Every structure is written in structure tokens, then in C-alpha cells.
Amino acid sequence: MTQPASPAAAPSARTVEAGAGGGGVDATAHAAHATQAVGAALSAQASPVRAPAPLRPTLTLAVIAAFSLLALLLACAIGSVKLSPADLWRATGELLACADPATRSLPAALLELRLHRALATWSTGALLALAGTMMQALLRNPLADPYVLGVSGGASVGALAAMFLSAAGWIVDASAFAGATAVSLLLLLFAHRDLRAAAGSAPLLLLTGVILAAGCSALIALILSIAPYNKLRGMVFWMIGDLAGAQARALPWAALLLVFVFCLRNARAVNLLAMYAETAASLGVAVGRLRLGLFLGAALSTACAVTGAGSVGFIGLIVPHACRFALGPDHRLLFPAAAMAGGVFLTLADTAARTVLSPQQLPVGVITALIGVPTFLLQLHQVRRGAR
């Protein structure tokens, strides 16, 4: 009994049959060419697997991690009083030895203050960049940022109301977090269908967020219009974004760790949602649960970031774009790159805010806006030029 021809040999068998009755030599030649073509095609398909493609993304992530450490060192060394590497080394030794605060040297005291602020700044930048990346994937809109759904507006209303009542600092932070949580719950209440649906877009969620943001803006204007003059400066600084007196706290780092783990575990599903939103469910993605997780993660990240730093702008918008230009749209690389790059960017911006007009300190939101506006315009120009 004749055995069935293999797929690779099928073209040559058909060619021999077609060339029977005087075309045997030509059939053999055609069969050889067909076999070579199949082999070349298989080699071409296999070669990208052996190519060292992951080298560039891995190297980029390593460079961003190195810049994170460098930014933290610069933040600890630069200020009204500069600390040399020798001062940093001795001050680190004193802090590790748990020396009595009353007997610590000036470099050790400065290092402790600056390190707390630098760690709080880095975590805030990482949270905002991660929230922006998640929001852009959720809404499938490259212009989305952590503030587009009004979560930061709710935090601003809570914080300014507490300042208006002359509340303590921890009450201001708690009120900001409560305001952000309240807006998030309203979004869940009015737009839960968009969050749980398997559809590609979320128009109801976006419109609800815009309306809530407008309402929060009206309440903010009301509070500012009736606030005493001696409280306006602090309110304006909080709204612009200010990290003066920031302390490294456990809540932002815990939220960052929780959201980061969620992002890494669902990065492949987010890729499918971003590229094939209409068919992601048929590819095995639990779209409703994923969209709800992205929303809750972005809301939690924004609430924790805004609570400690105020409404710092542009980080959640330009950092994901910059990382996407460098690494591509793969969220398995985009999430960690955006988190680290956001921490680096805000740490360097806060260092500049402390030192540009030293000893006077600028709101860090001013620095991020001055850097963010031209950077985003440059990114738009590059996108437009690449589309031609």
C-alpha cells in the first residue's frame, strides 16, 4: 500500500503527476526548487526565535534601574547644603548604627530628611506612571492620564476642605484619600456596566469621569473663593503638586507593590485587550474582570499618589509614551519600565524644585509641567512624522 505523502513532499508529487508523459526532468527540477523553497521558508520562520531580540528591552530596563539609584543618590546629595560622597558614606554609617538623633552630625540629619523625601517622591512618580499606563490600556486612549476620570479631583476636594477647616496634616491626607475613594465608588456605581462588559470601548466610564471631574472643579473653585487669604498659598501649592515635608510611608509602597504584581500577572491579557479588544474574550481573556482590575488599580495608585504629593501633572501622560517609544507596546516590559521611569522623573524634578531657587522651594508640579509640555509636543511631532 502506498504511504501518504508528507506536507513537504506534496508539491513535488503534484508536480511529477502534472508533468507525466515527457516532462520528467522538468518535474524533478520543479520538485527540487519546491523543496528548497519550503526549507528556506522554515528557516526564515525559525530565525527570529534564535535572534537575540530581548537584549535591547532587558538592557533598557537595566539602564532605567541604574538611573533610579542615581536619582536617589543625587536627591540625597544635592540641596541648600551639598553633601560630598565622603559625607554620604559617613552619614550612612551613622544612620545604620542607629545613633542617637541628638548626637547625629549635620550630614546624617540631612541625609535622613532627604532620603525620606526621595523615597516618597520615587514611589509617587512610580504610582502615577503606572496609573497612566493602566488608564491608557483601559480606555484605549493615548491621551488618558491618571486624572482623566476625576479621582484626583475628589482628592483635591477632600484635601482643600480639610485645609479650610484648619485640620492637622494627617487629617488632610486622610481627607484626600477619602475624596479619591468617594469618586472611585461613584464611578463604579454609574459606570459598572462598562467596567464589566466585554466591549472594546468604555464611553460611559469616560463620560462619567469627565462629569465628576467637572463637578469636583466647581467645588474646588468654591472652596478657593471663600477660603481665607492666609490659607490660599497652601491650597494652591497642594493643587499644583508639592512634596515639601513628604515622608516615606508604608501605604504608597504597599499600594505600589500590590498594583505592580497585578500588572505583571495580567500583562499578556492587557496586550490582547489593547490590540484586539473586540475579540479578546474569544481569545480566553476575562475582559470584564480585567477592566475592573485595571480601573481599581489605577484608582488606588492615583489616590495614594495624590494624597501625599497633590496633583502632580504630566507624569502619567508623558512617561508611558516615552517608554512605549523606547520599548514598544508590550506591557510585560512597559509596566516595569514606566514605574521606574516615573520614579526617576519625579525624583529629578523634585530635586530641581528644591535647588533651582535655593533656599526657596518651588512646587514640583511647576517643574513637571515645564518639562512635560515641550516633551509631549516633541512626542506628538515624532508620531506625526512617523505616520507620513
CATH number of the domain residue 68 falls in = 1.10.3470.10
139 belongs to a structural domain: yes
**% of the chain with per-residue pLDDT over 90:** 38
182 belongs to a structural domain: yes
7 belongs to a structural domain: no
Whether 182 has a pLDDT exceeding 90, the answer reads yes
In tens, the pLDDT along 20-60 reads: 344 443 444 444 444 444 344 333 333 333 333 444 778 88
In tens, the pLDDT along 267-308 reads: 999 998 887 767 777 777 888 888 889 999 999 999 999 988
**Which residue is it, cell 515639601?**
244
* Overall number of domains in the chain: 1
CA separation for the pair 216, 149 (Å, rounded): 11
Kind and range of the H or E run holding 90: helix 85-96
Closest to 295 (Cα-Cα) out of 214, 217, 183: 183
In tens, the pLDDT along 132-170 reads: 999 988 888 777 888 888 898 999 999 999 999 988 888
17 belongs to a structural domain: no
Grid cell in block for residue 251: 501605604
Whether 253 has a pLDDT exceeding 60, the answer reads yes
Parent domain of 183: 54-387
Q: What is the per-residue pLDDT for 242?
A: 84
Task: List, in order, residues 6 or more apart from 207 with CB less than 8 Å away.
Answer: none
More confident residue, 228 or 32: 228
39 belongs to a structural domain: no
CA separation for the pair 273, 362 (Å, rounded): 40
In tens, the pLDDT along 95-119 reads: 888 767 777 888 888 998 999 999 9
12 belongs to a structural domain: no
Whether 2 has a pLDDT exceeding 80, the answer reads no
In tens, the pLDDT along 344-364 reads: 999 999 999 999 887 788 889
Q: What is the per-residue pLDDT for 14?
A: 39
Grid cell in block for residue 134: 493602566
25 belongs to a structural domain: no
CA separation for the pair 135, 184 (Å, rounded): 13
| Other residues' Cβ atoms within 10 Å of the Cβ of residue 177 | 21
CA separation for the pair 337, 340 (Å, rounded): 5
314 belongs to a structural domain: yes
Q: What is the per-residue pLDDT for 4?
A: 44
Angular region, 13: left φ>0, alpha ψ -120 to 50, beta rest = alpha
CA separation for the pair 25, 311 (Å, rounded): 78
**% of the chain with per-residue pLDDT over 70:** 82
